[in-house]
């Protein structure tokens, strides 16, 4: 897992900033993935529970939570592979860029870092998808969000 950054002999302050930045990007990616998963689950819960007479059961939504995380992991992995392809192409291009996504040799370092960040996010998401406690936590957070939305709507309608 991530370690607290301590400078080692031969490492510059820029190396420390780069490691912290990678860690921060991964943390932000995981935060966004958790929010997207909660939103997906909340919407599935609302549809499922409104359209049936069944009571809420965490177990029913664990597979949905797992699949949502795995789908995001696949997306992050694909982003990492795309960054690698772009890095290889950019390493052979030395002219001026024609636009934002027209990568050149000077972009190789950034594309390598992007690949690493995407693959790390994918790895973390896969680990979380395999952790039942994490899945239960996501389902519970989505249940709370669903109830909050429903209760606000009921409250608003009753205040005519």
20: Cβ contacts below 8 Å, ≥ 6 apart:
5
Task: Kindly write down the DSSP assignment for every residue of 5-37, as one continuous string.
Answer: ----TT--HHHHHHHHHHHHHHHHHHHHHHHHH
Reduce the DSSP state of residue 23 to 3 states and report it. helix
- Sequence spans of domains, the chain: 13-158
Looking at the predicted structure, is the pLDDT value of residue 4 above 50?
A: no
Region 89-118 average pLDDT: 81
Burial of 76 (0-12, 13-18, 19+ CB in 10 A): buried
pLDDT, tens digit, for every residue of 47-88?
Answer: 998 898 888 999 999 999 999 999 999 999 999 999 999 888
């Amino acid at each position: 897992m991530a370690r607290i950054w301590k400078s080692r002999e031969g490492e510059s302050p820029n190396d420390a900033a780069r490691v912290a930045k990678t860690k921060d990007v991964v943390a932000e990616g995981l935060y966004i993935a958790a929010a997207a998963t909660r939103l997906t689950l909340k919407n599935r819960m609302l549809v499922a529970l409104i359209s049936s007479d069944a009571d809420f059961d965490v177990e029913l939504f664990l597979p949905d939570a797992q699949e949502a995380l795995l789908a995001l992991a696949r997306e992050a992995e694909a982003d990492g592979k795309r960054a690698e392809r772009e890095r290889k192409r950019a390493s052979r291009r030395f002219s001026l860029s024609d636009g934002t996504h027209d990568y050149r040799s000077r972009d190789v370092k950034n594309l390598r870092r992007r690949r690493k960040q995407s693959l790390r996010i994918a790895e973390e998401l896969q680990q979380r998808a395999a952790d039942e406690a994490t899945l239960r936590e996501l389902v519970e957070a989505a249940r709370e969000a669903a109830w909050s939305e429903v209760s606000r709507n009921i409250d608003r309608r009753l205040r005519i």
